[in-house]
């Protein structure tokens, strides 16, 4: 269909050249047969500005410039050209399909789906329209519909990309036995690294690590800048206990994609190898977005708590209540007034006598619980722990609630401290 459209367009442009002069027609032909997006855009623009093309020829030129802008990811300029092309040639499945592609890459999945369906209605034998609709369904997670459309596209015009797309859907459905033949055919048709990588994932799920590594090796040879191939192969080396090889691949993956997952995975490999200092460094880089704000907030709360004036309390025992000099800031006494010894921070009370206010907190994490206790002690707020359950699952991090009782006159201050700790989450 596309070949016949190009021939028809060529005839229209020849006729246009005879009627309106050769300039617009020649520029239009250079636009259609340009060797790069920039060349196509330049000649298409010249053909449009000269004018004189019939509607069908102008629609083709606009559609070609739309595609060229799309290849440059300039979708803001591509969409108006596609809109004009569809307006001039509303029965052209090609122009509708091209507009759908631009809408998809602009983030308008609903509009892209409508265009794919319209293109299929205009030309039920247009394979690209089925592939386009399958691609959108795959993006939405509707793998069954995508598999059906990919099958129809393969019936009309089999190619490697369509086999790969259907295989990818089977892979994510867990149908590895159906996915592998599609990846085999995609590889046979020259798709290359992506198909080897995806078939390697099938073998990983089937616990056939030797074949998985062989496919990942091939994927890396064909595409050396693909981080996921390295990280997937490193995972297999780790499972086989070959931590030096795993660390080598994770290091390459980190170089290409320095994200938290790769740092954390390499940290686990270092840990199992016994290189705990390197493991700790990788874990720190993987979780920096958690512990850095936590440390900053804890430091801020500590500084604010140290600056808050302490309330004097009567000694509770007969022993020496003088403060430990190592825990106090130097005091400068006024020559006209005697120095006043600060009252030491009280220890948490061991009963709930006179602690008549129950505060139910949202504190779960053991580190946050320790911080809350320290801040309450620092502020001199008496408290009694009412409930502190153990974690039900250390791996999941689900900790029990931690509730306290405090005196009524210190309730507001205690709630302020607890709220600060809770907001650290």
**What are the tens digits of pLDDT across the range 270-315?**
999 899 888 888 888 888 666 567 666 666 676 666 665 555 444 4
Same domain, 275 and 354: no
Q: Which domain holds residue 372?
A: 289-307+345-425
Q: Give residue 368's pLDDT.
A: 73
More confident residue, 106 or 10: 106
- Residue 68 belongs to a domain: no
Does the pLDDT at position 263 exceed 80? Answer: yes
Q: Which of 4-8, 213-217, 294-298, 377-381 has the highest mean pLDDT?
A: 213-217
The string of DSSP letters for 364-398 reads -SHHHHHHHHHHHHHHT---EEEEEPPPSBTTTTB
- Residue 281 belongs to a domain: yes
Same domain, 260 and 356: no
pLDDT band at 230 (very low <50, low <70, confident <90, very high): very high
Same domain, 302 and 273: no
**Do 200 and 234 meet the contact criterion of CB atoms below 8 Å apart?**
no
Average model confidence (pLDDT) across the chain? 79
- Residue 317 belongs to a domain: no
pLDDT band at 408 (very low <50, low <70, confident <90, very high): confident
- Residue 296 belongs to a domain: yes
Same domain, 297 and 377: yes
The string of DSSP letters for 150-210 reads HHHHHHHS--HHHHHHHHHHHHHHT-HHHHHHHHHHHHHTT--HHHHHHHHHHHHHTT-HH
Same domain, 296 and 419: yes
Q: What are the φ/ψ torsions at residue 387 (nearest 5 degrees)?
A: -155, 130
More confident residue, 382 or 121: 121
Domain boundary among 255, 286, 317: 286
- The model's pTM is 0.62
- Residue 417 belongs to a domain: yes
**Do 391 and 365 meet the contact criterion of CB atoms below 8 Å apart?**
no
**Do 193 and 229 meet the contact criterion of CB atoms below 8 Å apart?**
yes
Phi-psi region of 354 (alpha: psi -120 to 50; beta: other; left: phi over 0): left
Same domain, 393 and 294: yes
Mean pLDDT of 12-37: 65
Same domain, 366 and 273: no
Both structure tokens of 338: 């005697």
Q: What are the φ/ψ torsions at residue 328 (nearest 5 degrees)?
A: -115, 150
Same domain, 353 and 416: yes
Q: Give residue 143's pLDDT.
A: 95
Same domain, 389 and 293: yes
**Do 401 and 387 meet the contact criterion of CB atoms below 8 Å apart?**
yes
Report the range of poorest mean pLDDT among 195-204, 355-364, 382-391.
Answer: 382-391
Same domain, 273 and 403: no
Same domain, 280 and 296: no
Mean pLDDT of 371-400: 61
Structural domains of the chain, count:
2
Same domain, 420 and 298: yes
Does the pLDDT at position 54 exceed 70? Answer: yes
Does the pLDDT at position 237 exceed 60? Answer: yes
- Residue 385 belongs to a domain: yes
- Residue 102 belongs to a domain: no
Q: Residue 162 CA to chain centroid, in angstroms?
A: 26
pLDDT band at 101 (very low <50, low <70, confident <90, very high): very high
- Residue 186 belongs to a domain: no
Return the percent helix, strand and coil in the chain, to nearest 5. Answer: 70, 5, 30
């Amino acid at each position: 269909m596309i070949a016949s459209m190009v021939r028809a367009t060529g005839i229209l442009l020849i006729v246009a050249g005879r009627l309106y002069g050769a300039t617009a027609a020649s520029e239009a032909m250079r636009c259609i047969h340009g060797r790069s997006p920039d060349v196509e855009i330049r000649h298409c623009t010249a053909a449009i500005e000269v004018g004189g093309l019939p509607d069908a020829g102008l629609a083709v030129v606009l559609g070609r410039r739309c595609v060229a802008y799309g290849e440059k990811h300039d979708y803001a300029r591509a969409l108006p050209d596609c809109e004009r092309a569809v307006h001039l040639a509303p029965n052209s499945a090609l122009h509708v399909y091209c507009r759908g592609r631009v809408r998809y890459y602009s983030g308008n999945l609903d509009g892209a789906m409508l265009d794919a369906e319209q293109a299929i209605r205009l030309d039920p034998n247009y394979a690209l329209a089925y592939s386009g609709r399958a691609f959108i369904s795959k993006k939405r997670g509707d793998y069954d519909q995508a598999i059906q459309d990919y099958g129809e596209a393969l019936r009309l015009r089999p190619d490697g990309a369509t086999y790969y797309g259907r295989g990818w859907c089977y892979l994510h459905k867990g149908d590895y036995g159906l996915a592998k033949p599609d990846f085999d055919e995609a590889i046979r048709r020259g798709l290359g690294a992506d198909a080897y990588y995806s078939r390697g994932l099938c073998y990983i799920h089937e616990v056939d690590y030797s074949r998985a590594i062989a496919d990942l090796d091939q994927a890396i040879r064909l595409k050396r800048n693909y981080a996921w191939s390295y990280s997937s192969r490193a995972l297999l080396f780790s499972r086989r206990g070959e931590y030096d090889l795993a660390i080598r691949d994770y290091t390459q993956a980190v170089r290409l994609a320095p994200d938290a997952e790769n740092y954390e995975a390499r940290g686990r490999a270092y840990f199992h190898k016994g290189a705990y200092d390197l493991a700790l460094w990788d874990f720190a880089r993987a979780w920096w977005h958690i512990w850095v704000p936590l440390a900053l907030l804890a430091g801020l709360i500590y500084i604010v708590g140290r600056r808050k004036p302490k309330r004097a309390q009567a000694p509770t025992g007969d022993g020496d209540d003088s403060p430990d000099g190592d825990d106090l800031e130097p005091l400068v006494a006024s020559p006209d007034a005697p120095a006043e010894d600060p009252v030491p921070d009280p220890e948490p009370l061991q009963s709930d006598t006179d602690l008549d206010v129950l505060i139910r907190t949202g504190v779960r994490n053991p580190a946050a619980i320790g911080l809350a206790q320290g801040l309450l002690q620092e502020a001199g707020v008496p408290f009694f722990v009412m409930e502190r359950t153990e974690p039900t699952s250390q791996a999941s991090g689900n900790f029990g609630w931690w509730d306290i009782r405090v005196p009524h006159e210190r309730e507001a201050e205690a709630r302020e401290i607890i709220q600060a700790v809770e907001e650290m989450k």
